[in-house]
Structure 1
Amino acid sequence: MHAMQYELTLPADYDTGIIRDRVARLGHLLDTWEGLGLKAYLLRERGRDGSPVNQYAPFYLWDTARGMNTFLWGGAFQRLSDDFGRPPVRQWTGVAYEEGGAARSPARVAVRCRRPVPDGAEWAAVMADAVRETGRLARQDGAVLAAAAVDTERWELVHFSLWEHETPAADGDVFRVLHVSAPGRARLPRGRQW
């Protein structure tokens, strides 16, 4: 599993309805994308849920590197870059994935928590903790799913979770879910990824 996210930070007075309309028009295009586990189309709005910015920040879980590469190099990402400028694309290697008790419910909010892997830490212990935290999040009331991944260039761990209600039992940046494309969600490997 590979996790990926890019962020388009928008002006404070930006009409976020433009993003909502774009997702309503185009979101379905990835509903059958080969190699995509899921894409959550995410939006933060300044002043809502503690967000200091307006930001469109889709989060992806890929079940194949080929699917991710086809998205990045095959034209889909080019169209977004042509419209908004080329954002940096963050990538993390999968550590854990779990379906939540509300797995069949539509996701309303997402939470992303990024934190550094501490210097001097025993990596196996940090990753084992990440696996346990993924399971803990997935067991919380209203959890649709939870995932953890690590960026070994920045030594950063990310926990990502989707929730059926607006009061998630997770800490981090809160996003509104505009749409979820999940053609390969059933193929995402459960549990620890090594």
Structure 2
Amino acid sequence: MHAMQYELTLPADYDTGVIRARVARVGHLLDHWAGLGLKAYLLRERGVHGSPVSQYAPFYLWNTVEGMNSFLWGAGFQGLSDDFGRPTVRQWTGLAYEEGAAGAAPARFAVRRRRPLPDGGPVSAGVQEAADEARRLAREDGAVLAAAAVDTSRWETVQLSLWEHDAPKADGELFQVLHLSTPGRAALPTGRQW
């Protein structure tokens, strides 16, 4: 599993209805994308749920590198780049994926948390902690799914959890889920991935 995300931080007075309309218009295009586990179309709005910024930040879990590359080098990502400029794309290696207690429910909110792995200690302890946290989050009431991944260029972990309600039992940045494409969700490997 590979995780990927880019963020478009929008001007303070940006009409986020433009993003909502865009997702309503094109979100379905990845509903059957080969190699994609899932794509969560994420939005946070300045002043809503404590967010200091408005930001469009889709998050992907890929089953195959070929699927990811096909998207990045293809028309979908080029269309986004044409409209907003080419964003930096973050990538993480998968550590864990868990279906949630409310796995069949629609995902309405997401929580993302990025944390540096401490210097000096064994890396294995930090990545095991991230995998354990994904398992714990997935067991919480209202959790649709949880995933953890690591960026070894920054020695940073990322947690993504999706929730059916706006009171998730997770710490981090809260986003609205505008659409969820899940063509290969059932094929995402569950549990710890090493």
Range class of TM-score, shorter chain: over 0.9
- Structure 1 residue runs of 4+, over 2 Å off? none
Q: Equivalents in 2 of 1:121, 1:59: separation in Å?
A: 29
Q: Equivalents in 2 of 1:59, 1:173: separation in Å?
A: 13
SS at match of 1:52: coil
Shift of residue 167, structure 1, vs aligned partner: 0.4
The equivalences for 1:37-48 within 5 A come to: 37-48=37-48
Partner of 2:130: 130
Partner of 1:112: 112
Partner of 1:36: 36
Partner of 1:58: 58
Q: Equivalents in 1 of 2:83, 2:156: separation in Å?
A: 29
The equivalences for 1:72-87 within 5 A come to: 72-87=72-87
Shift of residue 13, structure 1, vs aligned partner: 0.4
Q: Equivalents in 2 of 1:2, 1:131: separation in Å?
A: 14
Partner of 1:181: 181
Shift of residue 49, structure 1, vs aligned partner: 1.1
Partner of 1:7: 7
Q: Equivalents in 2 of 1:121, 1:149: separation in Å?
A: 18
- What one-letter code is carried by the residue in structure 2 that aligns with 1:29? L
- What one-letter code is carried by the residue in structure 2 that aligns with 1:95? L
Q: Equivalents in 2 of 1:127, 1:158: separation in Å?
A: 10
SS at match of 1:83: helix
Q: Equivalents in 1 of 2:121, 2:58: separation in Å?
A: 30
SS at match of 2:46: coil
> Percent same amino acid at aligned positions?
74
Q: Equivalents in 2 of 1:67, 1:179: separation in Å?
A: 19
Shift of residue 148, structure 1, vs aligned partner: 0.2
- What one-letter code is carried by the residue in structure 1 that aligns with 2:23? V
- What one-letter code is carried by the residue in structure 1 that aligns with 2:190? R
Q: How many correspondences in the alignment? A: 194
Partner of 1:96: 96
Q: Which runs of 5+ in 2 are unaligned?
A: none
Partner of 2:140: 140
Q: CA RMSD in A?
A: 0.5
More deviation in 163-172 or 125-134?
125-134
Partner of 2:149: 149
Q: Equivalents in 2 of 1:64, 1:121: separation in Å?
A: 31
Q: Equivalents in 2 of 1:27, 1:134: separation in Å?
A: 26
Shift of residue 130, structure 1, vs aligned partner: 1.2
Shift of residue 74, structure 1, vs aligned partner: 1.9
Q: Equivalents in 1 of 2:125, 2:117: separation in Å?
A: 11
Shift of residue 6, structure 1, vs aligned partner: 0.2
